[in-house]
Structure 1
Amino acid sequence: MKLSNPTIKKTQIIRNALFICATFLFFGINQSLAFQEQPGVDFDEYRGEVVDAESNKALVFATLTVEGTNISTITNTEGNFLLKIPKNINSSNVIVSFLGYKTTSVPISSLEKEGNKISLMVSVTQLSEININAPKDAKALVRATMAKRDDNYFNDPSLMTAFYRETIKKRRKNVSLAEAVVNIYKTPYTSTKDDAVELYKARKSTDYTKLDTVALKLQGGPYNTLYVDIMKYPEYIFSSEAIDDYKFTFDRSTRINDKLIYVIRFNQLEHILEPLYQGELYIDVENNTLTNATFTLNIIDREKAAKLFVRRKPARVDVWPTEVSYRVDYREKNEKWYYGYSSVFMEFKVDWQGKLFNSTYSMNAEMAITDWELNATGDLPRYRERIKRSIILSDEATGFSDPSFWGEYNIIEPEQSIESAIRKIQRQLRRTERNSD
């Protein structure tokens, strides 16, 4: 049966959106790793945690920004942070913010090198605020927000420095970790040109003994997270054709940086059979600005979802996704918003024929903007200098080194479990080297 043009277009949008998150399964892995070093640089490091002031619960993905600069980082899944600040700006403050909490300012001079604890208070939204100029139609608010993209987001080209991390786990154990510092040539939100990514540094560590001779590799690298910027790439989720396939409803309200934020829930209509998305949009109602979004893929049909993600696998293995989720956070400067952080999480079942139990693998990719400046010329790197959208970062990276490898660049502080996995793999490599001598 020949599909109508709108259906073809919609299907292409879905496949384009999911292609960047495609996974590979391979036999036979090259286990050679190299080590590199980076000269020391003139900066101060501060470690600590961000917590809820009352419950002492860790605040995950809280943002820390050096006041008056574009230097930022975020807390990891345990609420810990590592912030590197050039010595010549140590008279400034660190602005700490988190969704639904009051933003706080911490003088850099009051920070210790280790053990800092920053507590944030919940921002209570008064009921009377919710009824003031409240929009009545959730879909209309989403449409108005998409329509005001050119007014509310950066309309100048920017050169961003970002930290990117890919983690692969088998069940709960870390088996592979790849990290990179990349340069992002961010085109204006008013432009139809895609952003370009340039690889600056990369490193990896993989425990091949836990992969059962099967290795999952994430195709697309930093592009997976970059394309979650739905205000820059609305065609991947809320194109003019696809937006009518969703139902939008008001959920609740909260605050971000003392701004009243409405939370809009969305889900695909019941009669839509193709796998689309469901999630929450956080919208500043006064300015019609999307500040955050979290959403997941509706895995309605296991076989359809598997075809969208799995590009190559052994013949005797069935692989299908059980969860695919996304997150994007935006930051504000001079009343303009820009992409600040995003993540993609995927979980897969791997079922070998003839085996009693299947395996569960999860893949997490996240990227945080740690510094940026205006790209005055608007020039993009030459095509041969850009990384390809089909990149597999773990193939490009060379290996783990000592902490000076990353020099002055801000990174997301590793979770303790990841640090333990790295140390274990390094010890195993050293033993292998000694045995081969």
Structure 2
Amino acid sequence: MKNLRFIKPTLLLFVFIFFGFTGNSENNLKNSNTISYQETNVIISGKIVDAKTNQPIAFVSVTATGTNIGTVSNTDGEFTLKFEKSLNVKSLTFKYIGYQNKVVEISSVPEKKFKIKLNPFVISIEEVVIRPNDPKELIQEILNRIPQNYSEKANKEMAFYREYIKNKRKYVSISEAVVEIYKAPYNKEYSYDLVKLYKGHKSAKVKAQDTIIMKLKGGPKTALLLDIAKNPYILFSDEKLEDYDFTLKDITNIDNQQNYILIFQQKPNPEQALFNGKIYVNIKTLAITAAEFSLNLENISEASKVFIRKKPLFLKIRPTNTKYLVNYTENNGKYYFSHARGEVEFEVKWKRKLFKSHYSVMTEIAITDRSDKNVQKIPKNQQLKAGIVFDEKVYPFSDTDFWGKYNTIKPEESIQRTIKKYGFKLKIQDN
């Protein structure tokens, strides 16, 4: 297993470079709850809510039933899914942690205000504290089963990637892309995922303001490192298992199957910053089906080192909150990485100045299609590297139908409001 020293490069998913002054921007996509038929494609949009509370549900897996084509709902519970008419798709399938799966026939989709209500499905059990000698054995068994639970074949995947930086509630930048992924087999430890930029765009109009320039270092390849089944050392390594307390908290439903909820918390240790969170594990297969975790911020000095690559001498930066989530989907007995999202909030203060600035950054990637047929590695000269400043790889350009047939994650309402105010310009990134 890889050593824990590799955690910091992985978490350069959020690394900031501070060096000047600038402002604010955004993105442009349509907001409609309709079904439409183009010459060759079907486009369906809707909103997913809890059947009891009517509250929106974020990050729900939405797939064209019988295919590998899919997307996820945004934080407002909204989604848009595109697929070719020739596939003859009859229904959509909706899946999320703690809810019953729902299949909706396309023939029943209304022309407007398509709302999908998911029913909660949670089985609570008496809380069980795992004995000190149990966690390592349980986690080790989960790790041992990765080669048989996850694809042993390389896959060609299409994915949508988004990152943004916000100053309080104002967007500083947004960058998005459709990328092609060579997803390496899970049964080969030193076989790595590769990423190619297919097309991308970024916010173009910036409103000048007295604030700090920030560059997010990471990009799509670094986001893929959150695949903890592929990279389990991110959370657990052999020598670090003893640094966690584990609790088997509940059993919940994922994809109409029972899953353990395994809570892990870092033991008190003033010398390092590890993680707190939970992983969801299929009871029958012991496959990791999802995870939610955050960096322990009790040691602010160590936690800050994870995120900050370069900053001015008289600038103080303190992370205040972190959140990561990872999801997998099952198909024919094998599990596949399907979605990951990471967020970091922090405060910034110049020495000798009274007020602080508050920033948040987010990166998200969703697999929108997948095939294990005729898979070829991406040529080296076309590969995106880990730790790039992705904003510098795409360009602003105006195009009302930039994404065409490709699936994306629908932008949140707050993004759409900014789009309307400032506009968004797009351009295809040449290889």
Query: Is the alpha carbon distance of 1:232 and 1:112 closer, same or farther for their aligned partners in structure 2, counting shifts above 3 Å?
Result: same
Of stretches 139-148 and 203-212 in structure 1, the one that deviates more from structure 2 is: 203-212
**Residue identity matched to 1:227:** L
Partner of 2:9: 16
**Kept in 1: contact 2:81–2:407 (CA 8 A):** yes
Residue 363 of structure 1 deviates from its aligned partner by 0.2
Partner of 2:63: 65
Q: 2:300, 2:55 → 1: CA distance?
A: 36
**Kept in 2: contact 1:49–1:58 (CA 8 A):** yes
Partner of 2:35: none
Residue 267 of structure 1 deviates from its aligned partner by 1.1
Query: Is the alpha carbon distance of 1:388 and 1:14 closer, same or farther for their aligned partners in structure 2, counting shifts above 3 Å?
Result: closer
Alpha-carbon displacement from aligned partner over 1:298-317 (angstroms, at most 9, x marks no partner): 11222222232212223332
SS of 1:308's partner is helix
Partner of 2:409: 412
Instruction: Give 1:319's match in structure 2, choosing from 314, 317, 320.
Output: 317
Partner of 2:47: 49
SS of 2:423's partner is helix
Partner of 2:183: 186
TM-score by length of 1: 0.87
Residue 155 of structure 1 deviates from its aligned partner by 0.7
Residue 215 of structure 1 deviates from its aligned partner by 1.8
Q: 1:262, 1:90 → 2: CA distance?
A: 36
SS of 1:178's partner is strand
Partner of 1:120: 118
Taking only the aligned residue pairs, the percentage that are identical comes to: 35
**Kept in 1: contact 2:163–2:176 (CA 8 A):** yes
**Residue identity matched to 1:86:** E
Instruction: Give 1:27's match in structure 2, choosing from 20, 24, 27.
Output: 20
Instruction: Tell me whether 1:159 sits opposite 2:156 in the alignment.
Output: yes
Partner of 1:432: none
Instruction: Give 1:382's match in structure 2, choosing from 365, 379, 382.
Output: 379
Partner of 1:222: 220
Q: 2:3, 2:259 → 1: CA distance?
A: 33
Query: Is the alpha carbon distance of 1:333 and 1:321 closer, same or farther for their aligned partners in structure 2, counting shifts above 3 Å?
Result: same
SS of 2:418's partner is helix
Residue 187 of structure 1 deviates from its aligned partner by 0.3
Partner of 1:5: none
Alpha-carbon displacement from aligned partner over 1:347-381 (angstroms, at most 9, x marks no partner): 1211022322100000010000000111534x311
C-alpha RMSD of the superposition: 2.7
**Kept in 1: contact 2:23–2:208 (CA 8 A):** no
Q: 2:390, 2:143 → 1: CA distance?
A: 32
**Residue identity matched to 2:255:** N
Unaligned runs of 5+ in 2: 29-37, 426-431
Query: Is the alpha carbon distance of 1:352 and 1:72 closer, same or farther for their aligned partners in structure 2, counting shifts above 3 Å?
Result: same
Tell me which protein shows more helix as a share of its residues.
1
Unaligned runs of 5+ in 1: 1-7, 430-437
Q: 2:196, 2:390 → 1: CA distance?
A: 12
Query: Is the alpha carbon distance of 1:62 and 1:9 closer, same or farther for their aligned partners in structure 2, counting shifts above 3 Å?
Result: closer
Query: Is the alpha carbon distance of 1:297 and 1:110 closer, same or farther for their aligned partners in structure 2, counting shifts above 3 Å?
Result: same
Instruction: Give 2:393's match in structure 1, choosing from 387, 396, 399.
Output: 396
For these two proteins, the number of residue pairs brought into alignment is 410
Tell me which protein shows more strand as a share of its residues.
2
Partner of 2:292: 294
Of stretches 400-409 and 288-297 in structure 1, the one that deviates more from structure 2 is: 400-409
Q: 1:216, 1:244 → 2: CA distance?
A: 37
Instruction: Tell me whether 1:352 sits opposite 2:345 in the alignment.
Output: no
- Matching of residues 168-247 of structure 1 within 5 Å: 168-191=165-188, 192-205=190-203, 208-209=206-207, 212-247=210-245
**Residue identity matched to 1:153:** Y
Partner of 2:34: none
Of stretches 236-245 and 390-399 in structure 1, the one that deviates more from structure 2 is: 236-245
**Residue identity matched to 2:20:** F
Q: 1:103, 1:9 → 2: CA distance?
A: 38
